[in-house]
Structure 1
Amino acid sequence: MTKAALPNYMDKHLKHQDIPPGHIFGMYFPVWQNDWKKVDQQKTDALKKALSIAPGIQKMQEALVQRQRSAALNHQAIAYFSADSIAPFVTGLGNEHPLENGFAFLNPYGLPYFPGSSVKGVLRMAAEELALGLYGETQSWDMLTVWLLFGFEGSASYLSDKVYHIDILDQEAEKRREAYRQWLEQGDYDQDALKIFIRSVLNEHEQKQYLEDPRQFLKDLPGKDISLQGALSFWDVYPQSKNLAMDILTPHHGEYFQGKHGPHDSEQPNPNVFLTIPPGSRFDFYCTAEAARLPENLQQHWQTLLQQAFHYAFDWLGFGAKTAVGYGQMTERPNAMEDLRGEKAKQEQRQKENAEKLAEQQRLANLPPIEREMAELIQSNNDPQKKDYLVLLDAVKNHADWQSEDKEIVLTRVKVMMQECGDWKETSKKKKPQQDKPHQRTLEVIRLLKDF
């Protein structure tokens, strides 16, 4: 029987507990014998124990997602994209683990996540392929836009003469270098953006030379040791799924690939199990920008450009590991950004209303007591047919505890309010003045005022 690599006294603390899958997969992975040797035959059974997400852990997952959503609603420069996976998703395979196939969990929560740095890597690749026009239209992307948004990397294959000694990689690198040379020769780039880039990566002495001839800077760029942090920041993604899943990769010629002998048909297959997030899971992508660092044109359009890069990534690249064999494929949820804007507008309206309510409460608190009572009486009037001055008039007649001077203040306010709305009538033009309600109320107020 296998167990986790834990002291015996921990067993009683782990029973009947909702344990996150990341903790089971990591700290409490039950694949060890008493002598702490791993039992490879028990890997599948051990992994199955990390697949379920208990209801209490699901609530924690929902709270993380909601906290991120609330942060997004309070951010001014943000882009949001939401997608559903249509294939298993896997990330963090290179992390150390007894299975030799790791997985990315967010500590200390023990919940699966996709690091924002990995999201940025996928989107950068999409943006570069669009900017270089490798597989179709550029959709308004160019290399300057890539550098300003994602940062500059001097080791990129289109700037480097590095030889990989693998035919397909060398061919791809040459294809990118040729596309970059064509873009450079065409000179179809924003001069303002290029000058901003030059000022961002060079000192004042070097700037003077190249600001007079920005094109020469791009020609000299491959040999320069410079770096630039992009304006975009990608947030971690918390996949929303009710459970995890298990997949199996079975190499049939492991010893051949390890160089132990030549290929033959008598090798034993070696099943390797690993964790995945099942299809149908939801992924929310958030990206913020330091818009002040960008040229005016990019400040206005960076979200649209990023949307095109996401579309490209959804259609052609995929997210996470093993995308070359179909993992990490997703389909975008429509109108995600519009929904976020609508939710943000509602929140701003609620915040405005709360601020107005607080200001009104503060105003009332600073009023004299009788003025505050009048304001509160008017606010409590829920009858749209009953005019506010009638509320105050009824209060004068019903408030036996009011002092004479308070009643006089209220009646004076009633008179002013009646005059403002045209209901103050000391004389009536009707044949039966007793049926003229505004006139009768006016007389009543006059009579009450005479008592003080």
Structure 2
Amino acid sequence: MPHRAVRDNFRGRFDGVGENLGLKICKLNEKIDLPPDKKDGNSGGNKPENKEKALRQMANFRFGEESAKAYKIAFERLGKAAKAHADCEIFEIKTSTRVLLGTGNASVFEFGFNLNYPWGVPYISGSTLKGAVSSYLARNGGKDWEIFDGAEKSRLQVDMFGGRLQGDSKSYVGLVTFLDAWMCPWASRDGQGDWFDMDIITPHYTSYYNGEGAPTGMDDPKPIKIAALCPGLRFQVILQGPEKHRKYVRRMLWELLEEEGIGGKTAVGYGRFEYIKNAQERSEEIGKKIQDVELVSELVELYKAYKNINEHGVLFAEKLREYGYDSDSGIEGMWKSLLPLDYLAIQLNDDLIKTFKDLKIRYKDFGNNISHWKKRFGVTDLSKSPEGKKLFDLMLAKWPEQIYANTDTKVVNELAYKWVDLSYSADELLDIIEGEVDLRWPKRDKLREYIEGNFFGDELELLVVCLDDAGL
């Protein structure tokens, strides 16, 4: 007597609202429990139209917004937990081609897939990654990794990934542990489902695969529809173990994923991944490009590409100084943005700023650039910076009377250095007081205050006497 499946109690209740693809396909698909077809003996769930329905569900499935938020929280918690362990290595990989994973898993629809629990989101099992790297090293790792005398694994494979040695009944734990690679939070594709594309594989040697003779090519090809992970999906890989071994395995995994791939149909280009550099690696790569650039035109192009990344501003500025200023080289805009005070000093020196009024306007216009420059170089007081002092000295040489008369203007107030900024010795101050040094700035009316606050004992007494004699 046939028994009614438990899923019958839920049939129809989740139509249109199910947000777990694994549950939707494996547990709630009404076609699974159909009786065998009288003609071919296959289960009703194995009929082409039922398989087609499941494939469409996979290809068109979109994860619900609320479920995606919850998944993201779980994903981030996993990463945070891994980062708390000093022996963990975390990085991301991205599908660069379609990928077939879990195709050998048992399924009523004749095609397999990997969906994690409880989310129903695609993932790459740790055992898949470990097995792939182990096999790759056995073939490409050199003599020490080769397998001899019918053994299942070499000693290095057992040491690194675990398993049994030939003639040894014990099973050993490997040095490196592979956690399941969770899919990183994703962006929905326009007009398509989130993760899968419908695809076809066509076995040409069915009899041979079934152990029924040689691959003669006389069999009729049988197209089989499947669901493949689409390109552009990212996965978070977590390795755990000693640092030396982790980094070696990571490097081998990158090679494997790029050159050979994992999963089904790798021989025809499926299963390829690319390594996603982390923020530090990307920054180091960009920094090296900037340092190695040889032509001004190349520097301009790099700046256009990376000017919004603030951490590279210092490198760009140093490179600009290395090349020097040239109004015809196409880098004037870079000078204005990255070295605003130097640019204004060049303009003053070349007599391109004619009046003090023009300078005040230009300085005001450069306000944002100067603020960014201060932040980039860690400058808190412009008057204490070499660039600020140089610009102010040029101003002072060009318009001394106007500088003295406009000490409250923004440009003078921010750039004018003070006695305390100059660090004169007592002997140097004596020469200044006695008029032996022609010093235009700072104003001498602040000199006594500076001396009384920074000198002591005999030096202070001598300097004060000289100030009195000079009437200062």
TM-score computed with the length of structure 1 as normaliser: 0.49
Select the structure with the greater relative contact order (CA < 8 A; seq sep ≥ 6).
1
TM-score computed with the length of structure 2 as normaliser: 0.47
